[in-house]
Chains A and B, each alone.
Chain A
């Protein structure tokens, strides 16, 4: 099949909060934007969060309007569920080749009624809910996803045809093929975000093995207003936990797992989650085991002090290892660095491993000619102090957590700065 040809001013890879901010800034300045994301909805990690520090605003309440602005903006075109094959600089412009994977749904006709999802008999793991819940083999990615088109998971579909029969718009197409696009752009912004440290990075913590040792993103979902269980319960037996522990630096500041740096956000999101938990489970005890609390932004120290005042326990101790007990409870080995500083074992119902920020995998950058990664795997920025969004290639800029650990505030500011860089670059080179 022929690749569809397109042209634009700025191409943005990744539609997280950073990508969306950059797109809006560029588009509001009158330039055209094309965005591509590999997931079926725009919004990145932020749309899956419960509330955000330090204001405790509801994350979807502030992300959804952003997503809507992006999708309705005349100058922005978004492609979700798509993969970039390569980005090459040719004759001063960028050639971008990407494919839109088949959803097996004709988007032009779909009215997002959800009938296909209701009737589908196959249940699969829900990635958006961090595998805590289930969804159908054909389903709209999540409640406030944009676009609101379902995706059919061919791997699990049993080809019963129920969805095709029930669809009022006759838009299920089992033979849909991927579509290839060939785009020319004047500038590029990379905002591919981050991943969290794999749960099994430190074997001693039993992440991925012990049922009640959960990831921070799972806790975000448990706390979200429309989360998988509509409440905070522990995965092993559905019990409402009485005591929850947070293990700080579980996936950062640790040479032995190859993440020697501090991920910045994990202290803050743990404090946030503990505060939200005090609201959700007024009778439960929350304990945060930390090496140091890094409350790095404006108002963050106050946020931490508030948490202390709310009765959240802060214990200076790095958790050494975790054991699972028969009851499903967890036993943590710590050295409490207070008073006499003695080794101790403590028990909790549920444990959150405060995993850190890791770069996205190497494949993300392999097909972008000339982009290099720094020693930790984030996009390398050669002229950091004075030109903090410039990558090694003139005309390609980077923003957000793709360049290193960042919270939302920093990612948004960074995106604005990348947008200005891109606009200036276009102005400079089009003369």
Chain B
């Protein structure tokens, strides 16, 4: 079979942040030490080679980058110091840009200012909407309460729903593109329909628990790893992810309940007031700290998009909490009005820009890659 080669491929990938990957001399040390590279899923050496050789189709149809959790062992031991772990990270950015046929992600990753400008534009739109619906100064009368000043159903229908719709449409389209590139184009295995169902639960468990992180810290026992702090990254990542997902689901799909503390009070207080808020702030703080300290390979290089991710999330959490207290304590409607506005100006652009087009999309692609990988594995076993 003829393979079409794109000699500029490695240079293109390097635009997404890859370190000096041309230094790689293809020894395979990285694959040998990688705790996640198993059986058929052999990486990162092979995919580096494919990149160097310009095999664009092979790179774009690969699931490997999504199965790497950037433990950094390969980068720590690479004899050429070619930073293979950072290459896998760059490939994830590259793939996000390739699944996205609109070209927006690519622009975000390759142009320093594009993401800021995009966020600014969405902010303007949110501001305009807010102005039309509520004005820029709160209209407070004697009987005004938080619920009449900014009725949840209006926020829901005019902000949350359109935003969720935009997100969903893009994400589904991109995810289908990923499915096309990685599954439909792969003629080497044929996956029977039945497997799509039988593999669902396994994938759901693996993605929800992010079990692969547990393999990252070498071959010691579970407890020694726990005590030594080898699992800290996994735990913090898990807390951040679950906090974020629970808030997202609450706000986008159950805004009424989210804002109404009285219903299922205990669940509400425990889940949102404590777990999610503390999780978001502690999580973003932890990752920002790692990126500043740069002790580990995976925190050594920070792309603009990585910082954006952490900062926006942190701001969302802070304004979200202030908003909550402003409403619960009922102290000033004026403050409530403005904090809400600021919160919307941070949260909506963050979700619209980051979720489909930038780093956050890994929330969708990683589980999908796991699913597809499981499917391929099961299909091969059938043979």
A interface, CB within 8 angstroms of B: 202, 204, 249, 253-256, 291, 317-321, 323, 333-335, 337, 340-343
Contacts and interface: CB of A to CB of B under 8 A. Distances in A.
B152 interface: no
10 contacts: A204-B33, A317-B32, A320-B31, A320-B32, A334-B32, A337-B28, A341-B46, A343-B34, A343-B37, A343-B42
Contacts of A340: 40, 42
Nearest to B77: A204
Given A291-B27, A341-B42, A342-B42, A318 B78 contact: no
A291 B32 contact: no
B42 A319 contact: no
A319 B32 contact: yes
B33 A249 contact: no
A253 B31 contact: no
A256 B81 CA distance: 6
A337 B25 CA distance: 13
Contacts of B262: none
Nearest to A342: B42
Interface of B: 25, 27-34, 37-40, 42, 45-46, 76-81, 219
Contact of B80 (A255, A321, A333, A342): A255
A191 B116 CA distance: 63
Contacts of B27: 249, 291, 318
B78 A256 contact: yes
Given A317-B28, A318-B79, 7 more contacts: A291-B25, A317-B32, A319-B29, A319-B32, A321-B32, A340-B40, A340-B42
Nearest to B79: A254
A343 B46 CA distance: 11
Contact of A335 (B32, B77, B80, B219): B32
A83 to B, nearest CB: 36
B188 to A, nearest CB: 11
B38 to A, nearest CB: 7
A333 B74 CA distance: 13
Contacts of A335: 28-29, 31-32, 42, 45
A249 B79 contact: yes
A133 B78 CA distance: 36
A323 B31 CA distance: 16
B219 A323 contact: yes
B43 to A, nearest CB: 9
Nearest to B218: A321
Contacts of A334: 28, 32
A14 B327 CA distance: 85
Nearest to B78: A256
Contacts of A323: 219
A358 B270 CA distance: 62
Given A255-B80, A335-B45, A342 B32 contact: no
A343 to B, nearest CB: 5
Given A341-B46, A342-B42, A343-B37, A333 B32 contact: yes
A321 B79 contact: no
A256 B28 CA distance: 15
Contacts of A333: 32-33
B32 A256 contact: no
A342 B25 CA distance: 17
A337 B29 CA distance: 11
Nearest to B33: A320
Given A204-B77, A249-B79, A254-B79, A320 B42 contact: no
B81 A342 contact: no
B25 A343 contact: no
A342 B39 contact: yes
Nearest to A333: B32
A320 B29 contact: yes
A255 B79 contact: yes
Contacts of A321: 32-33, 77
A322 to B, nearest CB: 10
B217 to A, nearest CB: 14
Nearest to A203: B77
B77 to A, nearest CB: 6
- Max chain B C-beta neighbours (<10 A), residue from A253, A333, A342, A343: A343
Contacts of A202: 77
A211 B39 CA distance: 30
Nearest to B43: A343
Nearest to A259: B79
Nearest 7 CB-CB pairs, A to B?
A: A320-B32, A335-B28, A254-B79, A320-B33, A335-B31, A318-B27, A333-B32
Contact of B38 (A249, A291, A343): A343
Contacts of B30: 320
Contacts of A318: 27-29, 32, 79
A159 B121 CA distance: 89
A323 B219 CA distance: 10
B69 to A, nearest CB: 16
B45 A342 contact: no
A273 B23 CA distance: 32
B19 to A, nearest CB: 13
- Max chain A C-beta neighbours (<10 A), residue from B25, B30, B77, B219: B77
Nearest to A334: B32
A255 B81 contact: yes
B128 to A, nearest CB: 54
B58 to A, nearest CB: 13
Nearest to B34: A343
A256 B79 contact: yes
A237 to B, nearest CB: 24
Contacts of A342: 39-40, 42
Nearest to A331: B219
Nearest to A257: B79
Contacts of B77: 202, 204, 256, 320-321
Contacts of A291: 25, 27
Contacts of A341: 28, 42, 45-46
A426 B274 CA distance: 87
Contact of A253 (B28, B40, B79): B79
A28 B250 CA distance: 94
- Max chain A C-beta neighbours (<10 A), residue from B25, B30, B33, B78: B33
Nearest to A345: B32
A419 to B, nearest CB: 38
Contacts of A256: 76-79, 81
A321 B76 CA distance: 12
B78 A343 contact: no
Contacts of B34: 343
Contacts of A337: 28
- Max chain B C-beta neighbours (<10 A), residue from A254, A255, A318, A337: A318
B324 to A, nearest CB: 49
- Max chain A C-beta neighbours (<10 A), residue from B25, B27, B40, B76: B27
A340 B39 CA distance: 10
Nearest to B49: A341
A319 B32 CA distance: 7
